Structure 1
Amino acid sequence: MSCTYSKLTSKEQFRNDINAVLTCPSLTCGQPFVADEAWLSNFRAKATMPDHTDYQGNRRLGFYYQWLWQQLIAAHPDYLLVAEEIQLKWNKQTLGAIDFLIKNTITGQLEHWEVAIKFYLAFQNSWPGPNASDNLDKKTARMLEHQLALCDHPAFRHQLAPQFGQPAIKRLIMQGRLFYPHDKLSSGSDLGSGIAINPDALNGKWCYQSQAPDLQLRQLSKTQWISPPCYQDLKMYLDTCELSIPTQAVSPDDQVWFVVPDHWPTHNRDR
């Protein structure tokens, strides 16, 4: 966490991030293997707060989010971490990595979990991310059809199943926030794709930088996207004139915003 942006200590932000992971609903519903509220609620009921540890890994948000889940699993009485970030190779090609293999100590079953933290903006019948080459439909399909299928691949069955066993349960845990256009008069084409959205998914608003000067937003660092501090705990006002990448911020009413450059999504990079 960057102290430049927030008054919170690293320990406070860690606890907030852990609590956010425990309470954040899944983005979608209705797809196979998606962790629903019933499962998340059961996991949360027995979860204990891990001891605070400063994160030392890859600075990309997805790696930090996966590490938060690793901390929660390690501290949970019903789950035992068997292996994580397992690279699979077949015919000299890398197929991908399995996020977690976990033993359910109640059922005795081995489980395969894939986790992802994602942020998408409703735009022209789709859900693009801040990097608009990514979108919710494509990411969901990738997680379901490729990532969760890795444990069924011959590479796993031949190379890893003899060591770890064959998973009996698969889980997709994809959390984050969905952003809707700030203009309430936006057309239906700006309300995302037809994928089934969890009605309880966290949401926010988005706008172009030219629409934001009067909003008095305070800026978030990317490490704060999982659990945005409240407005009064943030230090830096968002200078929309200098904005060059999609940036999250918080308004005085603690609404979370995504402000994107006026050229988004044509040029669509984030940090």
Structure 2
Amino acid sequence: MNFSNQYVRDLAWACFGPRLMHTRELNSGDLSVDNCALELTEARRDWLHQLDGSPSALQEWLERSPTRRLGLYFEALWQYFLETDPLVDLVAHNLAVRANGRTLGEFDCLYYCHERQRHVHLELAVKYFLGIDGETASGHSQWQQWWGPNSVDRLDLKINHLMNKQIQLGQRTEAEAVLADLGIIDPILEVEIRGYLFRKTGSTLPSPMGYNSQQSLAKWLFHSDARTSIAAFQSARFTTLPRLHWLSAAKASDNDCMNGGEMMAALDAHFNTGSRPQLLAAMDETGWETERFFVVPDGWPAPEPSSQSS
């Protein structure tokens, strides 16, 4: 889905790209929870191509609530799809449930699916985790071995929050009343997680339980190992990916790309003045991303000062 417009590429990746986790394999107690059932049909593919040719409506939608937060940008893309698609109706998003002056939680998305003739409660997340070597069991790593680049997020914490709190919000009496006001009773429950898992270069750490094995594990490496590792890439062109370009495959012009030596100089300058991990992409000769990898400071996973979740 290499669309020319960045927003359309991100939309296609957010809503129809490879899922990070198989929701059925995550613990949700007695509830039946699955991935989002809305698939990339031919009609939706045609819609994306038309949007790529004339993306102004999508751009105007995103400009209504500009953000530097990747998670909010990801949710806005989903909201546009659910608002626009003729087979679904977006009923509400970011709908808070309150009691006694405090917020109990929010419904990410509530939509009506005409094909299933049911309302759906959809929770969304986009996350990036780096694997820490350690003991494994049954051919899988543990969820707690996968850390966010800010050293605060962890895969186990995110899954537990999604499956044991966010998707269970509708089971609370206070939330049932909110849903009833919208005419929603017993909605289908869906959780969709997108993102990437990164394994240290040279590590054999297996993927965690529930991981979508059709998506290859990406790589991470320490700054002190970057010179050797970057030289080993088949690509001779690299670019840095700013946070809001972490979703779909990158497309870069010659002016945005660096050779290996230039990239190392940029990394040295960055890590001499800060400690925030850098997400890089290796590019082919036409300017399309071939793979991406994190470079982290040698002291990682020490927490970043004033770190902020995506």
Q: TM-score, normalised by structure 1?
A: 0.84
Rg: which structure is higher?
Answer: 2
Structure 2: state its 5+ residue gaps: 27-31, 52-56, 135-144, 231-236, 285-289
Relative to structure 2, which stretch is displaced further, 50-59 or 18-27? Answer: 50-59
1:74-98 CA distances to partner (integer Å, 9 max, x unpaired)?
Answer: 2212110001100111232211211
Q: Is the 8 A contact 2:58 2:80 kept in 1?
A: no
Say whether the 8 Å CA contact 2:150–2:276 is kept in structure 1: no
State the Cα deviation string for residues 9-52 of structure 1 (Å, max 9, x = none). Answer: 9x71111112212432221222352317xx35x35444233543
Using the alignment, how far apart are the partners of 1:80 and 1:176 within structure 2? 26
Which position in structure 2 is the counterpart of 1:3? none
In structure 1, what is the equivalent of residue 215 of structure 2? Answer: 201
Give the Cα separation in 2 of the matches to 1:174 and 1:203: 15
Match of 2:279 among 240, 248, 253: 248
Question: Partner letter of residue 63 of structure 1?
Answer: L
Match of 1:19 among 12, 31, 47: 12
2:224 counterpart residue number: 210
Q: What is aligned with 1:182?
A: 201
Aligned residues: 255
How far apart are residue 53 of structure 1 and its match?
1.4
RMSD over equivalenced CA pairs, Å = 2.6
Q: Distance in 2 between matches of 1:107 and 1:114?
A: 18
Is 1:263 equivalent to 2:295 in the alignment?
no
Q: What is the aligned-residue identity percentage?
A: 25
The one-letter amino acid of 1:245's match is: R
Alignment of 1:60-75 (within 5 A): 60-75=69-84
Kindly indicate whether residue 160 of structure 2 is the aligned counterpart of residue 133 of structure 1: no
Question: What are the superposed Cα offsets for residues 107-130 of structure 1, whole Å, 9 maximum, x if unpaired?
Answer: 321110011111111113411111
Gaps of 5+ in 1: 1-8
CA drift at 1:201: 2.7
Summarize deviations over 1:200-227 as a string: whole Å, max 9, x none: 1353111111111352632111111001
Q: Provide the residue aligned with 1:102 in structure 2.
A: 111
More helix by share: 2
Q: What residue number does 1:77 align with?
A: 86
Residue 179 of structure 2 is aligned to residue 154 of structure 1: no
**Partner Cα distance (1:251, 1:140) in 2:** 30
TM-score by length of 2: 0.74
Distance 1:122 1:110, change over 3 A: same
CA positional deviation for 1:251: 1.9
Distance 1:78 1:151 in 2: 24
